[in-house]
Structure formats: structure tokens, C-alpha cells
Structure 1
Amino acid sequence: MSVDVFEPLAGLEGVGSAARAARDAVDVLLRDRGLRRVGSDMTAEALLRGAHASAALAGSTASPDDVRRGAADGLATGAVRMTGELMALAPQVDKSPVQVWTRLHQLAALDLAPAAELGHVRTTAEPIPDDIPGLPPAPGADELWERLSALAQNLTRPTKAPALVVAAIVHAELAVLRPFPVANGLVARAAERCLLVARGIDPVAVTVPEAGHYVLRATYSSGLTDYAARGLTGVRDWLLRSCEVVTKGAELSPLAPSS
């Protein structure tokens, strides 16, 4: 009998109510406009805003206008490239998560790494990456492979946990493990968004969770560090932060009245 590893995390203090509140914020946004009225142009705009925010969080200096004109740096260009396939990849993330993550890396790192490193999970013969500032050292390749395999297996199993919780855990695990030589932050945030789409939180991808992470960037690396180092307390705090991210992502949607 398989174990539901996500459900106990959803039961940590305050997480359940915070996840419901975040889901409500997205539902209100979608209900006010109506799913039938959400065109592909709104999805494209939300994904573009997310790409810019995720790249900025990774250190890109490109402006939103640079991104729109296709004149951005490698980080932003990679983030945009991922958005072009995100909606097609999302339905696969519960069936073949590792393949989705490696494809995201191929897209994200095309301008950042040699061809041999694209979509390639690191081995013991390769250096440990340090591409997310402020985090403790990534684990070695043996631990990486063990945890990545377990994460992938757990994603393919049924869970009673809210989708937001699952997505947040995947984001944190990929960021902490840093399975790729470069662009791990971009991949982790895109993987989170894939799950929010695939599991019905935002099926038309019109919220901008990456922008939520950027607004809360002062606690991004510290939140991931606490997730890795402070046991269930750190996990709970990361999940609470992730709920706030999703709420802000709804507020920053191109569908929101203030946008």
C-alpha cells in the first residue's frame, strides 16, 4: 500500500486554512471573468509576466519590455522559452515528472549551458551547483538521485493534500536539490506552475505565482533554507509562504481589476 507523504504536510498548523484561502482567491478571479471568457491572449500575458518575474528572481536584469521584444538575456529568454511549452507539459507532470523537469531544463538553459548539460541530471563526477543565492550547499549526487526519485514516485500516487501543497513541496525540493548544473530556480518555479495548472488550481494559467515569489523575494532564499534545515517547522513556514504567493499571483493576474 502506497503512503501519502503530502497529506501530513497539509495538516501542519495553519496550512489547511491558508491553502483554502489561496484557492478561494484564484477561484474568485476565475469566477468573476468566467473560464469561457479567458482567451489565449490572457494566458500568454500571464505566462510572460511569470517568465519575467522568475528570471528577475534568478538575477536577470531584463525589463518587461526587453522580454516582450525578445531582446532579453539568457535567463529571461530561457524562462520565456519554458512558457511556450508549459501548457503542453502540465498534463504530463503527474505521469512522467522527471521527463517534464528535464524538458523544462532543456528549455531554460539553452543559452546558459553546453548542449551536453541540457536536461541532464548531475552525477557524482560533476560539481555541485550553486546557482540559487543564499541557500546551503546542495546535496551530493547520490542523495539527489534518491530524493528526486522518491519525489517523482510520490507525485504519481494519489494524495488527499491540496494541489497547492504538492506544488509548493515540488518547488522547494527541486530548488534545494538543484539537480541541474544551472537554471535550477527557473525550473523549480516552472515545475510549481505546471502542477498548479495540472491539478486544477489555475487550469488556464492566468495567475502569476512567479510574480508572487518576486514580490516576496526578501524571504525566498531564507524560506528555502528553513525548509531544508528546520524540519517540519521550516516546511510549514514554506507552505504558508507559498499560499501567500498564490494569493498574490491572483492579484497580479492580467485578469485582475488593478492590472
Structure 2
Amino acid sequence: MLKLYLLLAALFPITAQAAEIRMVTESYPPFNYREGSTYKGSSVEQVELLMKYAGIEYAMEMMPWARALFLAENREMHCVFTTVHNKERDGRFKWVEPLLTSRTVLIRKAGSPADPKTIEEAKDFRVGTQRDDFTQTILEENDFPRIDLATDLQLTLKKLMTGRIDLMPISEKYYERLKREGQPIEATVVLAEDIYSIACNPSVPDELIDHMQKNLDSLIADGTQAAVFEKYGLASE
């Protein structure tokens, strides 16, 4: 019996690792970005750590957001991050969270005449965001009439700085990071308060989701998550 028990114990982690998870994400610094051939960011590091400690095999790839979200929803054993957990997405994925919590704010180029004080006033302006990003859903749910869609955040930011759009929504943490780096931008109104997560295709076994969640919980409890936030210039909650 003892030999059988030891054999089963040895096989258990292999069972948990049997199917590789594909982690897909976009370039959205400081949460996820590429530096040369290396992936970096506060969310990237958390994902790497929790997957390592959970003993789960995975591969990571960066791509445009719309494709990353599509793959996580439609391909088995795919997960996407850093993903806002909202009502519209809730039942479509299995969730591991939080990688961070943050408010979403509308920003403008510093000195721009676009300076709304309410969401209703913001509707008078051209607002840009990334296609299939959660902010597109927020803008549509609030009946923004002029939404300009780009393939990624950096293109949206470029449009803001060149006057092609008046406002854009971003994480408040990222806004604070850009301000510290000297970007000439200003926050206007708050759009939402959000939980940013790992969203996994329903095919990912509950056992693996539980392993991932427990290890993320440990990163939060032992202060690792806060240290990662500090490393990337993000104020911890």
C-alpha cells in the first residue's frame, strides 16, 4: 500500500501539468509589454510566479488585444490577461484574480479644451480606445456617440497626443505611471472601478484554476504582489 501511495503522489503533479496552458496578452505597459525578446510587466511577473509555484506548464505570447481575447474565448486551454472582470465577460470565462484593482479614467492631452466634468459632458467629445477592449464596452453601454477604435493602446495614445481624438480611457495606475514619466496628459472623469484578472477558457480544468488562484492568493498575502507593483511604479492598494 505504501508503494502504491507513493506512486500516486508522484503521479499527481504530472496530471496537473498534462495539458499546457497558453497565456496570451497584449502590449499594455506597465502590466504587460515586450523588451527585446523578453516579456515584462507587473502582470507578466505575477503570472510567471503563480504558474511556477503551481507547477503548471504554460507558454506565453503577446499579440493584439482583440485576437488575444478571441483565442481565450474560443480555443481550449487558453487564458488571457490582464483582463477586466466585468458583467459582460463574467460567464464566458473562468477567473483567477486579482492581478490588480484600479479605476478607469478618461484622460486628455494637457491643456486641451476637452475637459468634461461628468460622463455626460464627455459624450460631446471624440473618445478613442482599443477594439474589443473592456473600455469599448463601457463607452458603448454609456452611449458615447463617437468612439474611435484602434488596434492597441499605444496607437490610441498617439491619436490623443496628435489631436485625432479628444479623450481616451486608461487604468488610473497606468495614468499615474505616464504622469511620472512626464507625459503631458491630465485625468478628467472616472469611468469605472475594475478588477483586472486572468480569464481562462472554460475548458481549463477547475483543478488547474484552483492551483492558480491559491498561488495568486499567496503572492498577495506574502507581499510579493505589492513588491511587484512597486518595481513597476504602481502604487499598491
If the length of structure 2 is used for normalisation, what is the TM-score?
0.28
Please identify which structure carries the higher helix content: 1
If the length of structure 1 is used for normalisation, what is the TM-score?
0.27
Of structures 1 and 2, the larger Rg is shown by: 2
